[in-house]
Amino acid sequence: MAARLDKETSKLHLHLYTEDVEFIDQTFCREGIRTVGRSKTIRLIVHAYCQQLKRKAHAKSIPFDPSIAELLDRE
């Protein structure tokens, strides 16, 4: 299976709460997405979450501008 994926994978044995797995199944079924393999669904969810964390970590802060403080003081 790993040979068919575009990136290297690692096997992981984990225990998930049954209610969470049922929720994932129900959510994807409502969206019309057939969950043939739960591992693919969970892999995509974790990957999307990690991408979001990476974007957050690499976000650049906005430099402080005194004109912003003036606008806030007016309100």
Domain count, the chain: 1
Is residue 33 in a domain?
yes
pTM over 0.75? The answer is no
Is residue 72 in a domain?
no
pLDDT score, position 31: 66
Q: Which residue has the tokens 């068919």?
A: 4
Q: Specify the 3-state DSSP secondary structure of 24.
A: helix
The C-alpha atoms of residue 30 and residue 37 are separated, in whole angstroms, by 16
pLDDT digits (tens, 9 = 90+) for 12-53: 888 989 998 888 888 877 666 665 667 777 888 889 999 998
Is residue 71 in a domain?
no
Is residue 1 in a domain?
no
pLDDT score, position 51: 92
